[in-house]
Structure 1
């Protein structure tokens, strides 16, 4: 799939986005507003967004009550209130995928109960912060693209992607595909505006972090595009397949998570130069592409509790594993505690006609190991 369709814009959407961005120019930006994160939407409930009658709380729009949004994001929220539930689901999808990908790592993508979502970890421009930005951005693209297809958003519908050149000429390009074009553009506007409305001195460390976040946001969006596929379905009497219809479809988000995890493992360390550009820190490494993840500083070891880490004390580990989930690596050499735990589970299930399943409850004792 080419990237040419990214250049095709929907005039109505861009006009509304331009109005929102112009509105942010006249607002004084308080950098204290940026302590939180828009990813906080993934930790909040979204029942309120399903009822248009409660979009306003008194005289104040609901968008101004959400913690973590920057001024530009608040304006976009007000223009696209029906999108915010979808954005929240996308952020939540990204958070859950992050936690699955890092479930056996010292940093397990744990969240905290405030608007920063991942706590002080994201203050360090490490590869973990890079992954968090990428997977959250990818989650929103995925969620918005699917919502368009399902008819849940007012400003988009089925995909308008062009017919792939290599598609069999006898097959019909149609159906209602996932609108990845719109999902990409909306996510780019909503997520990136947070970084673009900041003004930092050229070549400063703050500008470096700004460019790092923008780069990784884009890498996340492109990961969704990379994993998009063409799906086809046969039509005809008795499965004769006399007619074949094809459309654009998102891959399961796990594939996007796996792809970004590989990019995390091969992330490139960069630095900000005097011209205000990111460049590779060590010349022997390849220049990262737009799909690669970048970071500015090495990660802490995440072994012990500190102002940036929860540590691994109390984490379950695998005594027999030599990998990162093993007690040796996960517990950072501190050792582990073992105890026998009694578990109950369903077993010996039988299906009875018709129609229910009857199971017994089995009890077993297992060894559980936790890091000291």
Structure 2
């Protein structure tokens, strides 16, 4: 009887161990299938995105998941570009392509000031997207930034540490890996030694440094009843609007360099093309090589080497749609969205437009919101 009892106990443990081992195998198989599916989807993306260079394709097949987030960063960059240039003759609309790769656009193959901004904003977009994906655990080959940074005690009012004790913690966005992947993905396109490749590499770096210079310090309070006796702080990548505004300011002060600098390796040795004098005498004078003995360090400026066209007329070779049919602000006198600027002297037409939207919404207990449909008619100005 005793022998029979021990036999039953032994069988019971064997069943338990076998089921546990089976669950572990099933769990491992499920994870393997999930990773295989993610790799399949990502690798399929590598084959369907047009315009990738040979080096980018190799990187995509080697790190497919990271490339997917890089493409998401490119998409965010194009949207931010459209926001920043929504009132300009060139409004980045041609950069939004079905293949999600703005580099198939002819504009990015030119040396215009607008192309300099596009290169910088796309480089920043990939940096931010990869940095956030690493810290959120969506990428397996990177993680949180574990480095401890030396920060000043005097910060902005929103993140002021005052005299409160604080320590590094949380999960800082992995800026280092974000900049590294952005450099690998975009700089690999520039294999030539001509001035266009050198300018593109420079503007790519300006975009990455814009992210690095605007990293934010975020903190969480700890203590009894919210006393905030201790703060845990981490570094987070900046909001994309901050980067867009920063690079737009650099676009306004972008510097045109002389194309005779072909053989020069360092950008600080580039010669600047003499800028035309501005009407406002209160503004500081533009730097010229004749007035300074030493060359100016251009490492933080956007550079371009080709004068931009007017962008008034459609140009299929540049993927420029022109301004015909663009809505403009007839009451504006500014240099951007005014009809005088956007319509390029062709004039504009007034078109009555009907707009339908939800209105007079009410909350009904419980739990829905009922709205009425209202239509509005307004006159808009459209360039001829």
* Category of TM-score, reference length = shorter chain: 0.7 to 0.9
Q: 1:121, CA displacement in angstroms? A: 2.1
Q: Which residue pairs with 2:355 in the alignment?
A: 343
Q: 1:252, CA displacement in angstroms? A: 0.9
Unaligned runs of 5+ in 2: 1-34, 154-160, 275-285, 289-295
Q: Which residue pairs with 1:86 in the alignment?
A: 69
Runs of 4+ in 1 over 6 A off after TM superposition: none
Task: Please tell me whether the aligned partners of residues 50 and 104 of structure 2 are also in contact (alpha carbons under 8 angstroms).
Answer: no
Give the whole-Å Cα distance in 1 for the aligned partners of 2:37 and 2:308.
40
Is 1:231 aligned to residue 218 of structure 2?
yes
Give the whole-Å Cα distance in 2 for the aligned partners of 1:139 and 1:342.
36
Q: 1:298, CA displacement in angstroms? A: 1.0
Mean Cα deviation higher: 179-188 or 278-287? 278-287
2:311 to 302, 324, 333: 302
Count of aligned pairs between the two proteins: 313
Q: Which has the larger radius of gyration?
A: 2
Is 1:171 aligned to residue 166 of structure 2?
yes
Measured at CA, do residues 54 and 177 of structure 1 come closer, stay the same or move farther in structure 2, by a change above 3 Å?
closer
Task: Please tell me whether the aligned partners of residues 43 and 60 of structure 2 are also in contact (alpha carbons under 8 angstroms).
Answer: no
RMSD value, Cα: 2.3
Task: Please tell me whether the aligned partners of residues 184 and 221 of structure 1 are also in contact (alpha carbons under 8 angstroms).
Answer: yes
Give the whole-Å Cα distance in 1 for the aligned partners of 2:141 and 2:201.
25
Task: Please tell me whether the aligned partners of residues 94 and 139 of structure 1 are also in contact (alpha carbons under 8 angstroms).
Answer: yes
2:299 to 290, 315, 319: 290
Q: Which residue pairs with 1:247 in the alignment?
A: 234
Is 1:220 aligned to residue 215 of structure 2?
no
Unaligned runs of 5+ in 1: 1-47, 201-206
Measured at CA, do residues 368 and 161 of structure 1 come closer, stay the same or move farther in structure 2, by a change above 3 Å?
same
Is 1:100 aligned to residue 83 of structure 2?
yes
Using the size of structure 1 for normalisation, the TM-score is 0.78
SS, match of residue 321 in structure 1? coil
Give the whole-Å Cα distance in 2 for the aligned partners of 1:55 and 1:116.
19
Q: Which residue pairs with 1:264 in the alignment?
A: 251
Q: 1:118, CA displacement in angstroms? A: 6.4
Q: Which residue pairs with 2:342 in the alignment?
A: 330
SS, match of residue 382 in structure 2? strand
Give the whole-Å Cα distance in 2 for the aligned partners of 1:93 and 1:55.
19
Mean Cα deviation higher: 243-252 or 346-355? 346-355
